[in-house]
Structure 1
């Protein structure tokens, strides 16, 4: 995944509330004689791009080409934002209005935030500013548009709906407030658990209420997809069904800007050709890196790759893919020069013969995809008493093997349609197909037969159990 993302530089527009995140770092060792409050001795100050600016920072760290449209004030904070974005090479439409630029000052001592001081005026931008933002969108082409809504007035209901209606590229949104009607028709929104609870009117306290809230938002606001971030519990994706993805965070120092990282990661990954579920895996890793830092931080692809390796494992569930997902994965792999190997079977009771067979298949290329007969398919092929193990169990066990990269369940009697989707470089079957036609051999570049381990088969294992042997 990361190797593919390194080659991608999608053009992404960020529209939303820009602000300055001002940090004062120091030590706190005494109480003020003037009032019962702590005294912080400031040792360092730092200004960072905040709000939509942090989304921009995250996209830049991933390697995207970024443009931004927003409104700033006619003040030093607004000028600082403009200079900072120019220095980073970001194309900007920064409209100046008679309002203060939002600035959030955080006082931090011993890695703990003591107080936050906000300077802002959260009023809707003018109609003229709305028209200027629409004009810049209509005059330029982007691969994806991200709307970063902090409720400071840039993303008015009128502007938000105009952007969604006029755009021919995906619109991903980090929402704000309780009324999501202004986001109607968006491709993806990424509220956290509290925001999703407030917007749906359903208090999320378990998986049942989580599912109800997610699908309420999806249905009532005509959203193609919803992702609810769940802090230390990871995130939940709502497309055709609800899927939960666990968090990868080891230590949490500061959640400031974590939502910006999630939005930016989803946008970058999907604009680079990854599926929503692959993007969720990437976003979870990126968020895991960011919350281990102090302040509105970012994560580079190098950091994310190192973090993934440090975790020491790949979740088996992440390796179980749909037809469309595996087709996209195979296409990207072949484009990058990797050799894709495909084999298939029932793999009902996994045994030594299966493992050695799959190890040999993996040695033939770079990526091994296993097509797995569904339960109904196995019954038609093997009889009503089979399979012994249900399809999800079989898929999970296969996906846990080191030799196997991906598993795809197919319902048909043969994997021909799946092979057409994947177009593998090498098709592998057992040596018992020596005098038979191998399904899909007309599609794969090469077909290779592998010898089985003598005496090892699911049928023989079942017979031994039945005979108490």
Structure 2
């Protein structure tokens, strides 16, 4: 999956909606100083400096989706207590749908309090219920899930073994997903994985896969045996086995196995990486990506998260920055239409003048280069709209182009005078111009201003059209004729 495909996927995230189901918790952090021992007992005295209350458990999956800009519905069971009401308020304050949450009067909302001093965790205090929810609460929650799933593209299940995700409820969730025609992706826990039969995909880590499969994972062969056994025994469409800083392994229904190494980086903390993988994998499948492509993006994101301290999230810009390291400089300039429109809007807000021109640029020559250099000098950024191969064939006949669109895009992106390249498939660039809204529209000297496609549109919002003369005698047709003339006898 190349950078442009990743950009296109990330640009669509705001239109995607996920339903997150699982064990919702509060993570409380208490930071302090300690420099003495208590006279009451041989323990350190912590002088509290600050406190922080965050979403935890399945809430960290929510945090990841929020960072990505997705729409979110949440389902789960909370205690009818102060922490339950506070957790629900935190979700609603972020614009997250909470209609799928059931309040259970006999339940204690999970709250984990961590005491930290001298740059280390001193103590953790857990207040929670871990017993299975009652049959009545299970029935209520299943009904809430049926309502909450409307408009969602994926269901994400985050199991922390706190009693909410009973086997009965999980089977109801899987059935709801099948009825809605959307994937159900699970981050599993525990020894017994039979309760996950019916899911689309599960994401165990190496230790969890070893425990659930009963196969020792001491090398790659053991890892593959465990992955194959779990996927086959549970009838999954796919299993993604996460391997911390070593990346992840995919086991697909057709028997294919794919191993994705992570980008080499210093690992500070793997906590929360599983939640990031669940979020990216799930929303990737919801967006229509293949398992392999969704896993590729999730793997990039996990590599970023393990380089951070504490449970963390990842922003789209961070994923793009890492994806950009894997490709050449020219590839960084080639953008999809959706992401480029966002980038150019930011540039306009900074006061930049955006210049746009378009063409086939089949067989690059000096006339092209001089033309583009003059166009770039009219503003602060030059965007080149490049006709696709199909577009050129319709315009110039079945023998053109001589150079494919991917190669042409890289050749044009390599020019210093060009800031961005975007390919379009239409016969004219009008739709592209409407999406990008440049202030200056440039065409070559063989055009009259009134004949330039997009002129009225650009002028309607205060832009202008500029005509630049070509270098005499320099054209792709002339180049082709020269080649044919010189090599005709041969």
TM-score (norm. length: structure 2): 0.64
The 1:314/1:226 distance shift into structure 2, 3 A limit, reads farther
Q: 1:108-158 CA distances to partner (integer Å, 9 max, x unpaired)?
A: 345433332211110111222222222233332421101110000111000
Q: 1:422-447 CA distances to partner (integer Å, 9 max, x unpaired)?
A: x9999xxxxxxxxxxxxxxxxxxxxx
d(CA) in 1 for partners of 2:170, 2:297: 27
Equivalent residue for 1:193? 206
1:277 Cα deviation after fit: 1.5
d(CA) in 1 for partners of 2:224, 2:299: 19
Equivalent residue for 1:118? 126
1:248 Cα deviation after fit: 2.8
Q: 1:296-321 CA distances to partner (integer Å, 9 max, x unpaired)?
A: 22111122223434xx3249xxx9xx
TM alignment of 1:170-319, pairs within 5 A? 170-239=183-252, 240-248=255-263, 250-309=265-324, 312-314=325-327
Contact 1:27 1:43 in 2 (8 A): yes
The count of corresponding residues between Structure 1 and Structure 2 is 348
Structure 2 counterpart SS, 1:364? helix
d(CA) in 2 for partners of 1:338, 1:189: 41
| Structure 1, unaligned runs of 5 or more | 320-329, 343-357, 369-422, 427-447, 455-469
Structure 2 counterpart SS, 1:26? strand
Equivalent residue for 2:12? 7
| Structure number with bigger Rg | 2
d(CA) in 2 for partners of 1:171, 1:339: 39
Equivalent residue for 2:71? 65
d(CA) in 2 for partners of 1:340, 1:115: 61
1:162 Cα deviation after fit: 1.4
Equivalent residue for 1:48? 54
d(CA) in 2 for partners of 1:187, 1:202: 23
d(CA) in 2 for partners of 1:4, 1:303: 14
| Structure 2, unaligned runs of 5 or more | 1-5, 343-384, 391-401, 413-423, 428-476, 484-490
1:338 Cα deviation after fit: 7.6
Contact 1:341 1:362 in 2 (8 A): no
Question: 127-136 or 30-39, which moves further after superposition?
Answer: 30-39
Contact 2:182 2:286 in 1 (8 A): no
d(CA) in 2 for partners of 1:67, 1:124: 23
Contact 1:6 1:63 in 2 (8 A): no
Structure 1 counterpart SS, 2:136? helix
Equivalent residue for 2:153? 143
TM-score (norm. length: structure 1): 0.66
d(CA) in 1 for partners of 2:338, 2:195: 36
User: What is the alpha-carbon root mean square deviation over aligned residues?
Assistant: 3.5
The 1:314/1:30 distance shift into structure 2, 3 A limit, reads farther
Structure 1 counterpart SS, 2:409? coil
